[in-house]
Each structure stands twice: as structure tokens, then as C-alpha cells.
A and B are shown apart, each in its own frame.
Chain A
Amino acid sequence: MTENRTNIKNKVSKFHDKYYKHLLLIPLLLLVFCGIYLVSFNSSHGDFIYKDITLTGGTSITIFEQVDLIDLTNSISEQLDGVIIREVSDLVTGKQKAITIETTSDLDSAKEVLESYLGHKLDEKNSSFEFTGSALSQDFFRQLLIAILLAFIFMALVVFLIFRSVVPSFAIVLSAFADIIMTLTVFNILGIQLSTAGIVAFLMLIGYSVDTDILLTNRVLKRHEGSLNSKIYSAFKTGITMNLTSFVAILLALLIVGPLSHTLSIIFIVLAIGLLFDLLNTWITNVSILKWYVIRKENKNEN
């Protein structure tokens, strides 16, 4: 049994030694594809993501009563702009608890249309509303992008300070960058709109994604015992456990809170997708670059 395992390990190790540079092609091609996709998406949509009303400006009204979704959609979508209707449902029974109507129209007109459809007034007891002016939300969006950019730069600086060598630090930054770009692309392909909270989730993703990369780089560069492959393998074992626990925790949270809160579900979906890509980017992108770097350095030293 143990012999068998060692055997497999050796085989994997040999395979990896031979093909690790080729493996790098997978994430690289994917990253190039995502980059091209996002650029073309940007030129056809005027923006590189689908924004929801928290980023474009508009109104969201939640009404705490049972409403026929189809009938409501048919009746109001002519009168209001960019209408999206969502259901808020009970976790256990799955019954409709409330509906949320999002529109890019302003608060007063949205209220008026809904009140005339429902036949009664909307007050603070039977409804919630959120309105964001379009100038403000565009400003929010711009600032959040700056926040992410700054966060990214700060993160890169800290990583560089910790490891003090260019290539390994670059590998970490690259894989965090790839996580973000790939997750964004999936959101665009699925047509999911991002909110302010969704963008904040990308900030969270930077933190999560860097964790495993730092673990890997630390084990490979700062330990002296064991072969390169065994160091990578040990980091892999720890890192996979880390990713898996985070993934399980996020999935469970999504399952419970998702039906109640659209805001939190977007956050969790960003994280869940991001963590999946992080598997690829840590254990292929980062590992391959790091291995390449270490082997080249060893060869140089031998000469």
C-alpha cells in the first residue's frame, strides 16, 4: 500500500518534472482568452462588467407580499427602464416572502408605477427601497476600482518585501491577477450583474488567493530540507485543505443566506468561483513559474 503510494508519487513527480512548463500553457491560454474576451466585451457593452443599479444608479424596491412575478413583469416593464425582478424566498419552505424590483428609473416614478399596480401605498412597513443617484454610483464604481487597484499594488509590495526576489513575487501577483480576471470573465459569460458588494468580494478574493501562494512560496524558498518536489507536494497538501475548507464554508453560507440576500449571494458566488480558479492558478501557474525559477537558479549555481 505505502509502496504503491510512493510509486504513484514518483510517477507524478517525474511527469511534473517533464511537463511543468507545458502545464503553464493551460492557465496562460485561459488568461489570454479571458483578456481578449473582456476587452471585446468592454468594446461591445461600453463597460467590462454587467453593473447592477448600485453601480449604474437606480432604484430597488422590495415588497413584502405575494405577487405573481410574470404578471408583474408584464405590467411594469413597459413603464420602467431596465426592470429586473427577483424573488426572496423562505429557506425551509421555499415560499415567496417578498419580491425585489430593480429599475434604472428614479425612486418616485418606480414607486408610482408599483403603487398603481398593487393598488395600495408603499410605506416603510410593507416595503423597503434603495435609491442611488447615477452620478454617485458612477463615482462609487470608480472609487472601488481605485480601491482594488491600490489593494493590489499594496499586496504586491508586501509580497515583494516578504520574499525579496522578483520572479517568485511576480508569480504570486500574477496568479492573484489571473484569479480576478478569470472570475470576472465567468460572471460576464453567465450574465451576472455585479454590485458594489460584488466588487468588494474581489477585494476579499485577493486575500484568499494570496494565502495559498504565500504558503507555497514560503515552503519552497525558505526551507532547506527535502527535494523541490516534496516541498511543492507538502504545500499542495496543506493548500488544498485550505481551499477545500474555505470552499465548503462559502458554499454552505451561500446555501443558507442566498435565498434571503442577493447582496451576500453575489459575494459568496464571487468567492466560490474565485477559489476554484485559485486551485488552477496556485497549483499550476504559480508552481510552474516557481519551479522554473528554482531549477534555473540551481543550474546556475552548479555552473
Chain B
Amino acid sequence: MKIKLTWRIWLLIILVFFSLLSVIGFPPAFTQKGVVVTGVDSSSPAFDQGLREGQIIVSIDGNKIKNPSDFFEAFQNKFDSNESVRTDILTKNSELIILSNESLQITVSEISNSNLKFGLDLIGGARALVQAEGKKLTDVEAGELVDTTQTRLNEFGISDITVRQVSDLSGNNFMLIEAAGASPSDLKDLISQQGKFEAKIGNDTVFVGGEKDISSVCRDSTCSGIEKCSEVEGGWACNFQFSIFLTPEAAQRHADITKNIPSETTPQGRYLTLLLDLYLDDNLVDSLRIGEGLKGRVETQIAISGGASGVTRNEAITAAEEDMHKLQTILVTGSLPFKLEVVKLDSISPTLGSDFIRAIIVAGLLALIGASIVVFVRYRSIKSSLALVLTSFSEIIIILGIASLIGWNLDLPSIAGILATIGTGFDDQIVILDESIREKFLSLRQRLKRAFAIIMGAYFTALVSMLPLLWAGAGLLKGFAFTTIIGITAGVFITRPAFSDFVRMIEGD
């Protein structure tokens, strides 16, 4: 039998081909060696040399890097001596030579072997949905909140995170924050903190966080760092200190307020009788003594300090550094005009992720096979049930192709949508098969036309019933509607017509 493919079948083949290409990438991702950079701290010398997120590291110091553990091994004990050491990093497109005496602050992960992106609920990660406390956010406010949070996270050195504004059917606005993979454990504090910083002397506010009062915050080691650590009851306490520069207006305010404060003698020297109290979200962080020399002077550079404690000395240092980092971030970005409430917080461990994806693939395949067996038993035609499986399979590939093309995150609802599509796909193809073998007095073309009348009806009902879901529940379930709509649309306009041509070929019309 000479097989002549119709244009509909060609269209399907071409579409499946491009979908596959879109999923596996060109050149195929699985042929690539190395690790992909997921984050570089902006203070890292590697950042200065041009290393960025998304680049692929192939070798370090001449040793091939095949996976993240090779990467960690390459840096193990490298910076123990505190002296500058040289690191040669070969990426896919460039060669970097880096001299540094401390960790390069690069995070990497394995190159995924496809362009498919999976949702947090499958591969692990964290997600937070944030609202203003006791207040409905307007569109503009939510947008500003997203911007400020984005800057804050960037300032804090977290790059592998997305912040978006989402809204729902009732017109509520939310900020949605998503971090793939392992997430910083203090994410919740960082995002839910209003960050209202105030420096007060007595009841007078001298300056607040943000660019209106603070022109810059020093973050390098010359004017910021851990000052001293001491043993206290039950562990260690460390103090940090860093300089900030006030705007002229804020400095003038400082001078006006301190002008009339009397000074006193202490064992450490002469200081003003009132302290400079630092408040973060209305909690007292630290109180600083003001040297007599500063009284009434327009001084723009001010030292900010605070402290933290831990069980061991190292813990205390880490805690103090973290607190300092947070405080610096807040001073730079300023405060938010309202208190925030984390209304949903999910943190999914990657532990079960791969098991889960494997189980879903197995389930999908088994469902396909099971359904094709039913079809075989019913119609006694291997060709038909094979065509059916192939068509459904190509439908899945098209959905995945479109998903990876537009960078859609395949989360659990999306997967459920794909499964739903396979189901309706089967239903439609059975209608086609069935019509094609019935009422032989009509031409096959007429019979297939009848089949499509039914299929289009089913398509439109399914389509309209999915639409509300795109907005309900802050969009957290829209993956379901999305994959279903893509699947059934591709089905009705591409795979089903091709399938009916297959059937025609088999029937020999």
C-alpha cells in the first residue's frame, strides 16, 4: 500500500517536531556538560569578571566540572589560608581568572536535560503570598510593594527568586514570591518585614530608612563589619557596626536636635545625656551614645550598630552578620507604607520531586496503554488503537512544547490538566473512529464531518468551563486551565483532524 500523507498529517508531524525541539533544546540540553550558574553575589569578584546567572561552567582550574559536587570539591579548602588564591573558571563562552581570599559566593545546579520548567510543588522550592494587614491593596500599591521587595531581595543578594503581582476574582491584589530549589530559611522574615526604620533622640525623629534621609550605606569591609565578640551567659554575643551617610537635610535635623542636649562625663569620655535610639518596626534595636564632639554639628557620616547572640562564637558571628545585612538592606530600600501579612506560605522539599515526576510519567503511560487496550478490544484494530495512542502522545508533546517555549512552570495543577486532556482526547478520537465505521451509505468525509460536529460541541463546552479558573484563587490553579485549554485546542485543530486522516487512510477512502 502506498502511503500518501495529507497536509493535516504533515502539519501534525511538523508541529510535533518543533515541540520536541522546544522541549529538548537545540543543541539538545542533555548533550551539554558542566553546571549552570544559578546565582552570583554582586560582591563576588567573579561577578566583577562577568560571571552571571545562567552561564555554564565547564571546568575549574583545569578540572572538568560535571556536576555540582565536582564544583564544591574544586573549592573545598581553597580559601582556608586567608591569602589571595587564583581560580581559573572556564565557562562555555569565556575564561575567567579570579584572585580572591574568600569564597566566591557562586551557586550552581545541574544542567537540566530539557527546557521544561517544573513547578515548586514538584521539584521543591518556596512560595509566599503576601497581603497588606487589614487593608486591601490597590493596583498601584501592590506594584510598588513588588518593586520594593524586588530591590530588597536583590540588595540582600538573593537572585534566584521571582516576585510578581497577582490578583484574583474578587479583585484582591497580592504579591507572590517564588523561589525555586532550596530557599533561604529566613525568607518569611525578609519579605514580611515592613522595615520601618527610625532613629530617634528622645521623642524626636532624626532620620528614617530610605533614600530621603540616607544618601548611602557602607557595605564594604573598610566601614562595616563585626566589631567585637564576647562570651555572655549561655553563649556568645557579637556586635556589628557600619557607617551610613545622611542627606544634608537629615544631618541638619541631627544638628538642630542635639544642639540643646547637655553632656555628661562617663568612664569612656564625654557624651550627650540622651541616646540615639534605633527602632526597627517599632522595636528598639540598639541605643547609641553620642559623643560631645557631635553636639550641634552638621555631620553626615553616622555609625549604626547592633548585636546578635548565638550558642557558639561562630553562630553569633553569623547571626550578627545576617542582622547587619538585613538592617543595611532596609536602610537602603526604606520602609513599606503598610504592615504585611503572609497569607500563604509553602516550602516544598525537593526530596520527593524526582520520584513524583517519575510516577506521573509512569501513570500517564499506563493510562494511555490501558485506554488503548479498551479501544483495541472494542474495535479489533491494532492500527486504530496505535493511531490513537500516537495521536494522544503527540498531543502531550505539543502541550509540553508550548509550555517550554513560553517558559510555563509545570506545576501539579498543570499536570492534572494534561491528564484531563488525554482523557478528552480519547473521547474525541473514539467518536471519530466510531463515526468512520458506521452508516456506510454516507461517504467517509461526511461521516467525519459529523464526528467533528460532536467534537466541536464538546470542545467549546470544555473551553468555556475552564475560563473562570484562570482568575480564581489568585491564579494558583491556572496551570490546570492553561494546559487543558492548550491541549484541547491543539487537539481539535491539529491532532484530531490528522487522526481522522489516519483513519481515512486505514479505512482506505
9 A-B residue pairs with Cβ-Cβ distance under 8 Å, sorted by A, are: A98-B351, A128-B351, A139-B168, A147-B169, A152-B465, A158-B461, A204-B416, A214-B458, A245-B370
Residues in B neighbouring A98, C-beta threshold 8 A: 351-352
Chain B residue numbers with a CB within 8 Å of A131 are: 344-346
- Judged by a CB distance under 8 angstroms, whether B302 is at the interface is no
* Chain A hits for B469, CB < 8 A: 147, 151, 200, 203
Residues in A whose Cβ lies below 8 Å from that of B464: 151, 154-155, 157-158
Residues of chain B lying within 8 A (CB to CB) of residue A80: none
Contact code string B465-495 (vs A, CB < 8 Å = 1, else 0) = 1111101111011001000100000000000
Q: Say yes or no for B28: interface residue by CB 8 A criterion.
A: no
Are A128 and B349 CB-contacts (below 8 A) given A203-B466, A218-B454, A242-B430? yes
Expressed in whole angstroms, the Cα–Cα distance for A254 and B481 within the complex equals 21
Report A-chain residues with C-beta under 8 Å of the C-beta of B424. 207-208, 211
Q: Report yes or no: B343 in contact with A215, Cβ–Cβ below 8 A.
A: no
* Most chain A CB neighbours (cut-off 10 Å) among B356, B438, B457, B469: B457
Cβ of A272 to closest chain B Cβ, rounded Å: 11
Residues of chain B lying within 8 A (CB to CB) of residue A159 = 457, 461
**A146 adjacent to B472 (CB under 8 Å):** yes
In the complex, chain A residues whose CB is within 8 Å of the CB of B11: none
Also in contact, A155 and B126, with CB within 8 A (given A125-B351, A245-B426):
no
Docked-complex contact B423 and A246, CB < 8 angstroms: yes
Q: Is B14 interfacial (CB 8 A cutoff)?
A: no
B5 within 8 A of A: no
Tell me the B269-322 residues at the A interface (CB within 8 Å).
none
Residues on A with C-beta less than 8 A from B471 are 143, 147
| Interface residue count on the A side (C-beta < 8 Å) | 79
**A144 at interface, CB cutoff 8 A:** yes
Say yes or no for B182: interface residue by CB 8 A criterion. yes
Bound form: Cα–Cα A135–B168 in Å: 14
Q: Which residues of A240-267 are within 8 A (CB) of B?
A: 241-242, 244-246, 248-253, 255-257, 260-261, 263-264, 267
Q: Which residues of A pack against B, CB within 8 Å?
A: 62, 64, 88, 91, 97-98, 107, 123-133, 135-136, 139-140, 142-144, 146-148, 150-152, 154-155, 157-159, 162, 196-197, 200-201, 203-204, 206-208, 210-212, 214-215, 218-219, 222-223, 225, 234, 237-238, 241-242, 244-246, 248-253, 255-257, 260-261, 263-264, 267, 271
In this assembly, does B341 line the interface, its C-beta being within 8 Å of a C-beta of chain A?
Answer: yes
Contacting residues, chain B, for A253 (C-beta < 8 A): 363-364, 366-367, 419
Pairwise interchain contact B378-A241, C-beta atoms closer than 8 A: yes
Whether B362 sits at the interface, judged by CB under 8 Å, is yes
- Report B342-376 CB contacts with A as 1/0, cut-off 8 Å: 11111111011001100110111011101101110
Among residues 224 to 244 in chain B, which have CB atoms less than 8 Å away from a CB atom of chain A?
none
Give the distance to chain B from A175, nearest Cβ to Cβ, in Å.
13
Nearest residue (CB) in B for A130 is B346
- Label chain B's interface by main secondary structure: helix
Does residue B218 face the partner (Cβ distance < 8 Å to A)?
no
**Shortest 7 CB-CB contacts between residues of A and residues of B:** A154-B464, A151-B465, A249-B367, A147-B468, A256-B363, A147-B472, A133-B343
A151-B464, A196-B473 as given contacts; A260 in contact with B344, CB under 8 Å: no
Closest chain B CB from A38 CB (angstroms): 22
Are B466 and A107 in touch, CB under 8 angstroms? no
Contact of B434 with A237 in the complex, beta carbons under 8 Å: yes
Of B416, B419, B453, B473, which contacts A144 at CB under 8 A?
B473
B460 touches A (CB below 8 Å): yes
> In the complex, which residues of chain A have a beta carbon less than 8 angstroms from the beta carbon of B472?
140, 143-144, 146-147
Q: Which of A124, A132, A223, A238 has the most CB of B within 10 A?
A: A124
A216 to B471, CA, bound (A): 32
Would you call A256 and B457 a contact (CB within 8 A)?
Answer: no
CB distance from B412 to the nearest CB of A (A): 6
Cβ of A256 and Cβ of B477 under 8 Å apart? no
- In the complex, which residue of chain A has the Cβ closest to the Cβ of B129? A136
- Residue pair A248, B343 in contact (C-beta under 8 Å): no
Q: Is the CB of B466 within 8 A of A151?
A: yes
Shortest B394–chain A CB gap in Å is: 17
Among B343, B346, B412, B413, find the residue whose CB has the most chain A CB atoms closer than 10 A. Answer: B343
Residue of B nearest to A146 (CB): B169
**How many Å lie between the Cα of A203 and that of B343 in the bound state?**
25
Q: Is the CB of B434 within 8 A of A241?
A: yes
When the two chains form their complex, are residues A241 and B364 in contact, meaning their CB atoms are under 8 A apart?
no
Q: Which residues of A contact B367 (CB under 8 A)?
A: 248-250, 252-253
